[in-house]
Amino acid sequence: MLTIDAAVIERSGDPFRFEQLAMDPPGPGQVRVRIHACGICHTDMVMREGALPIPFPVILGHEGAGIVEAVGANVDGLTAGDHVLLSFHSCGVCSACHDHQPGYCREFVPRNFLGLRRAGEGDIRRGEQPIGSNIFGQSAFATYALAHQDNVVRIDADLPLDLLAPLGCGVQTGAGTVLETLSVQPGQSIAIMGAGAVGLSALMAAKITGAGCIAILDRHAHRLELARELGATEAVDDLAALEGVFDHIVDTTGVPTLLSQAIAMLAPRGTLALVGAYPSDGLAIDPSAIMSLGRRIVGVVEGGIDPQRFIPRLIAYYREGRLPLEKLVRYYPFAQIEEAFAASERGEVIKPVVVMP
Ligand SMILES: [Zn+2]
Ligand SMILES: [Zn+2]
């Protein structure tokens, strides 16, 4: 048994409370990672509010980065001392996983939100009481995590773990949507709705593809300014201010009323990618506006990528200076996680990252 420090949410909507918990040794397929840093993602906020089917009490955090300390049985290719980024969890055997599309794994919900443990796996406990500690197969708002072979991506030891932590969810979601799901081509036009971490990652990726017009929409003037710095050719706070039509539109806002407006702005054969967290009701669309011009709407989870293949690609762009994540990230000591959440909710910080002591 190892004693770890974790930020626990007791019931939905509660603040974080720090406590010491007991961690089992890693079981079959598991990897014990000493967490150095963890990004805060919008989904953590949605989970804290109880809007997703997670167990309480719970340890959130799904953009962990750290160093492997121990591996369980049946773990290949990872050893103590490896520097790793953590990503989402998948089964590895369904047809989507087989096609390197683990974001569409048939077990995505049980493995990432319910965080169910399999027989023989190590767990984290408060006395005899189990804690939800397998969220996205990691629960990384803690000094240690029990991750899994499939959601651990090894990286070179010279890379900054704290800066690259958000690659495992927010950054790969935005960049993967543009580079893989939409496969934006040089000279094409793209509009991105929302200049948060996912939207700005989509923007950096659009710049990498050589897209022509790159437009972005957001309510916050400081985010629009940063978007211009990162390569946006148009940055507006009202969709109606954009002229022309777009080959691709990426929605990261989850605001249903923007979607019918966006569909009308798609070029013939253009595609709208849905990347936000949407309410389960409230989208009225005109099917003939999609049908008659051969337009498409596609849902996207985690960018539609395989982290084992895509994170190394993102790291290559980072090394070339084409993924300037330092412009998005602000660091907080782990003890200030509550303040980091609040700053993100107020829209002041694009990507908070908590750094463990
Ligand atoms: Zn699967
Ligand atoms: Zn996320």
Residues 186, 349: contact at Cβ < 8 Å? no
The residues spanned by each domain of the chain are 2-168+324-355, 173-301
pLDDT of residue 280: 81
**C-alpha to C-alpha distance for 145 and 32, rounded to whole angstroms:** 6
pLDDT of residue 229: 98
For residue 165, the ligand closest to its alpha carbon is 2
For residue 88, the ligand closest to its alpha carbon is 2
pLDDT of residue 57: 96
Quickly list DSSP for 120-183: T---EEETTEE-B--GGGT--SBSEEEEEGGGEEEE-TTS-HHHHGGGGTHHHHHHHIIIIIS-
Quote the ligand 2 centre to 43 CA distance (angstroms): 5
Q: Which of 201, 127, 124, 208 is nearest to 164 (CA)?
A: 201
Q: Which of 321, 275, 266 is nearest to 296 (CA)?
A: 266
- Count helices and strands in the chain by DSSP H and E runs: 11, 18
Quote the ligand 2 centre to 113 CA distance (angstroms): 11
For residue 107, the ligand closest to its alpha carbon is 1
* Ligand 2 (single-atom ion) residues, CB below 5 Å: 41, 43, 169
Cis peptide before 15 (omega within 30 of 0): no
For residue 303, the ligand closest to its alpha carbon is 2
For residue 42, the ligand closest to its alpha carbon is 2
Q: Which of 239, 197, 186 is nearest to 216 (CA)?
A: 239
By CB neighbour count within 10 A (0-12 exposed, 13-18 middle, 19+ buried), where does 10 fall?
middle
Quote the ligand 1 centre to 161 CA distance (angstroms): 27
Q: Which residues have C-beta within 8 Å of that of residue 72, sequence separation ≥ 6?
A: 25, 26, 27, 28, 29, 30, 31, 122
Quote the ligand 1 centre to 323 CA distance (angstroms): 29
Quote the ligand 1 centre to 106 CA distance (angstroms): 5
For residue 140, the ligand closest to its alpha carbon is 2
CB neighbours of residue 322 within 10 Å? 14
Residues 109, 87: contact at Cβ < 8 Å? no
**C-alpha to C-alpha distance for 232 and 203, rounded to whole angstroms:** 7
pLDDT of residue 282: 65
> What dotted CATH number matches 173-301?
3.40.50.720
Domain 2-168+324-355 CATH (choose: 3.40.50.970, 3.40.50.300, 3.90.180.10, 3.90.1150.10): 3.90.180.10
Amino acid, res. 51:
A
Q: Residue 50 has which token pair?
A: 């109880």
pLDDT of residue 277: 87
**C-alpha to C-alpha distance for 188 and 168, rounded to whole angstroms:** 27
List, run by run, the mean pLDDT of 10-residue segments along the chain (357 residues).
97 97 97 98 93 94 98 96 98 97 97 92 93 97 97 98 98 98 98 98 98 97 98 96 96 92 96 92 83 96 98 98 98 98 94 98
Query: What HEC string does 296-329 produce?
Result: EEEECCHHHCCHHHHHHHHHHHHHCCCCCHHHCE
Quote the ligand 2 centre to 306 CA distance (angstroms): 15
The sign of the dihedral angle between the CA atoms of 112, 118, 122, 127 is positive
For residue 169, the ligand closest to its alpha carbon is 2
User: Which helix or strand (DSSP H or E) is residue 109 part of?
Assistant: helix 108-109
